[in-house]
Amino acid sequence: MKQASILAQAGSRWDDKTGAVSMPVYHSSTFRHPGLGRSTGFDYSRSANPTRSVLEQTLAKIEGAENTRAFAFASGLAAIDAILRLFRPGDQILVTEDLYGGTFRLFETLFRPYGIEAKYVNTTDLAAVERALDHRVKLIFLEVPSNPLLNVADIPAIAALAKARGILTAVDNTFLTPVRQRPLELGADLAVYSGTKYLNGHDDVVAGVVATNRPELADKIAFVQNAAGAILGPQDSWLLLRGLKTLPLRLAKQEANALELAQWLSGHSAVKRVFYPGLPDHPGHEILRRQASGFGAMISFEVADPDRVPAILAGVKLFMFAESLGGVESLITFPAVQTHADMAPAIRERLGINHRLLRLSIGIEDVDDLRQDLEQALA
Ligand SMILES: *Cc1c(COP(=O)(O)O)cnc(C)c1O
């Protein structure tokens, strides 16, 4: 079955007793044993819960690669944390240098003191990636496209470099989702998501996902999920399952809106530069044409006059000035002071996360209304 069919009917055939078309929310922490040494498959909800299991099976199916298993966590960062727990003091992790600020904070403030060291590299530069791969590197952690500059690493090429050296590859695929880019099929070992964003799509759940088609890695992630316990609860699992049903539709509309707005912004006199991989002159455009089936709905842009930023943020009427992304509602954010505040200013400047840069998450509103709103705010 194709993704859209899997998603539309996710959970709809679980309840044989009543025929419920909507997956029930199993608000039960514990489950009766049929007898000594026997189990229904559910014993205690940290280990497995039916609503979460159906969500996880759905996420595994849309990931595409055979034998994929998926695990739902309390947040995207909890999902990344579960991956990092597979490593040991002395291990190094090669990381996309311009990545989500919270991931940077996790690497720097929680894992570095335990001796797990992140090495930040421009992962759009294959030669730089290759140079950085010494014997201590055990994982390459890519964010594709990256947040907020939408740089695009070549996943098959990097996964092949890693594999040849016995190094694992993980891809944070939050921006494109398995509907547009499937890292495991491209050769990566782990895919990770902030389910808070496009997968859920309605700005009402914080969630995370790890998916892998390597059985030994799946067993380890399952162990961490149960042993450390950062699981997604049944109510949030249900909300995420409900959100997923419309993911292909939402994403298509969001992308169409984003392309139109990116083209329009590119010709605007108050705009210095637009970062949108769907524009043919974006350096990641050709790579995404090969490894993805769309370009997503995140746009970043530099304003010509940085002093205008506060007025733009105060002036938008339809776009909401808020962090996060991927929901049906359009948002605008100021990465240097919001999502990337934990990154050292010098690093931010070098990467281009400067005080001219604004980031848009494009929703499903009417594109003319969105354009008019930006027009009046930029004026
Ligand atoms: C939001 C985000 C995260 C963190 O996810 P949470 O659900 O907020 O914990 C990780 N990676 C990317 C690319 C994100 O946008």
Listed residues 244, 260, 276: the one ending a domain: 244
- The number of CA neighbours under 13 Å toward the Cβ of 244 is 34
- 158 and 53 in a common domain: yes
Residues present in the chain in total: 379
- The number of CA neighbours under 13 Å toward the Cβ of 124 is 18
- 254 and 167 in a common domain: no
Indicate the residue type of 347. Answer: I
- 271 and 220 in a common domain: no
At 227 the three-state DSSP class reads helix
The answer to whether the CB of 76 is under 6 A from ligand 1 is yes
Looking at ligand 1, which atom is closest to the CA of residue 79?
9
- 336 and 259 in a common domain: yes
pLDDT at residue 35, rounded to an integer? 97
195 CA from centroid of ligand 1 (Å): 8
pLDDT at residue 89, rounded to an integer? 98
354 CA from centroid of ligand 1 (Å): 20
Q: Are 154 and 287 in contact (CB under 8 A)?
A: yes
- Global confidence as pTM: 0.97
- 221 and 147 in a common domain: yes
CA distance 320 to 8: 29
The answer to whether the CB of 143 is under 6 A from ligand 1 is yes
62 CA from centroid of ligand 1 (Å): 20
**Range of 232's domain?**
3-244
Taking CB atoms within 8 Å and a gap of at least 24, the contacts of 133-137 are 133/94, 133/161, 133/162, 133/165, 133/167, 134/92, 136/90, 136/91, 136/92, 137/91, 137/92, 137/93, 137/94, 137/165, 137/167
The answer to whether the CB of 100 is under 6 A from ligand 1 is yes
The answer to whether the CB of 123 is under 6 A from ligand 1 is no
Q: Which residues are identified as catalytic?
A: 46, 100, 172, 197
pLDDT at residue 346, rounded to an integer? 85
DSSP lists the bridge partners of residue 140 as 94, 169
- 226 and 268 in a common domain: no
Task: Give the single-character DSSP code of 206.
Answer: -
- 253 and 238 in a common domain: no
pLDDT at residue 351, rounded to an integer? 87
pLDDT at residue 183, rounded to an integer? 98
| R_g of the chain, CA atoms, integer Å | 21
Listed residues 221, 244, 267: the one ending a domain: 244
pLDDT at residue 305, rounded to an integer? 95
Structural tokens at position 355: 């005080």
Q: Which of 146, 197, 206 to mutate to test the pocket of ligand 1 (most atoms within 8 A of CB)?
A: 197
Structural tokens at position 356: 């001219």
- 236 and 257 in a common domain: no
- 131 and 114 in a common domain: yes
Structurally, how many domains does the chain consist of? 2
CA distance 56 to 209: 8
The answer to whether the CB of 77 is under 6 A from ligand 1 is yes
- 90 and 32 in a common domain: yes
Decide the pairing of beta strands 168-172 and 137-143: parallel
Q: Are 176 and 292 in contact (CB under 8 A)?
A: yes
Q: Which of 107, 174, 360 to mutate to test the pocket of ligand 1 (most atoms within 8 A of CB)?
A: 174
Listed residues 197, 225, 244: the one ending a domain: 244
The answer to whether the CB of 361 is under 6 A from ligand 1 is no
Cα 293 off chain centre by = 16
The answer to whether the CB of 201 is under 6 A from ligand 1 is no
Chunked into runs of 10 residues, the chain (379 residues) has average pLDDT values of: 97 96 98 96 97 98 97 98 98 94 94 97 97 96 95 98 98 98 98 98 98 98 98 98 98 98 98 98 97 98 96 97 96 90 83 93 98 97
Sign of the C-alpha dihedral computed for residues 212, 12, 51 and 200 taken in this order: positive
- 252 and 234 in a common domain: no
> CATH no. for residue 332?
3.90.1150.10
pLDDT at residue 340, rounded to an integer? 82
Looking at ligand 1, which atom is closest to the CA of residue 208?
7
> CATH no. for residue 195?
3.40.640.10
194 CA from centroid of ligand 1 (Å): 4
- 229 and 80 in a common domain: yes
Q: Across the beta sheet with 69-73, what order do the strands follow?
A: 69-73, 208-212, 190-194, 168-172, 137-143, 92-96, 117-121
Task: Output the CA angle 52-58-60, nearest 5 degrees.
Answer: 100
pLDDT at residue 2, rounded to an integer? 96
pLDDT at residue 87, rounded to an integer? 98
